[in-house]
């Protein structure tokens, strides 16, 4: 199998699945389209997370998803209000994907 070739020209966005916790049921996977950041931009984003509203943080990192509802501030608000663990789940995946950290199984 051929190895993937690294390119210094990165895409503006990337996709990743987020497992959204559902109370009383199984978690639901949602594919998000995330905005790519440079290391310096990422550090600035992380530094600004303290005290940030969940909706604002998610709008800052994502630009779309594979849900039937259109992606936007109103829909993100519904997500975080109805699925209380969703904001943390989305942020965790975003940070893990950008930093290359992988969950241990």
What are the pLDDT digits (tens) for 59-85?
999 999 999 999 999 999 999 999 999
Residue 25 lies in a domain: yes
Q: Would you state the pLDDT for residue 9?
A: 85
Integer Cα distance of 56 and 78 in angstroms: 13
The number of domains in the chain is 1
Integer Cα distance of 34 and 13 in angstroms: 5
User: Domain limits at 91?
Assistant: 13-99
Q: Would you state the pLDDT for residue 10?
A: 87
Residue 43 lies in a domain: yes
Asked if 34 and 97 count as a contact pair (C-beta separation under 8 A), the reply is yes
Structure confidence by residue, pLDDT tens digits, 12-47? 999 999 999 999 999 999 999 999 999 999 999 999
Integer Cα distance of 18 and 103 in angstroms: 13
Asked if 83 and 75 count as a contact pair (C-beta separation under 8 A), the reply is no
Residue 4 lies in a domain: no
Residue 77 lies in a domain: yes
Residue 58 lies in a domain: yes
Residue 56 lies in a domain: yes
pTM of the entire structure? 0.88
Residue 5 lies in a domain: no
């Amino acid at each position: 199998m051929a190895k993937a070739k690294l390119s210094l020209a990165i895409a503006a966005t990337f996709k990743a699945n987020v497992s959204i916790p559902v109370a009383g049921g199984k978690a639901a996977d949602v594919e998000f389209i995330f905005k790519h950041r440079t290391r310096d931009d990422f550090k600035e984003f992380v530094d600004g997370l303290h005290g940030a509203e969940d909706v604002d943080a998610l709008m800052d990192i994502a630009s779309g998803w594979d849900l039937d509802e259109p992606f936007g501030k109103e829909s993100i608000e519904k997500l975080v209000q109805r699925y209380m663990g969703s904001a943390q789940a989305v942020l965790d995946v975003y940070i893990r994907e950008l930093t290359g950290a992988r969950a241990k199984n």
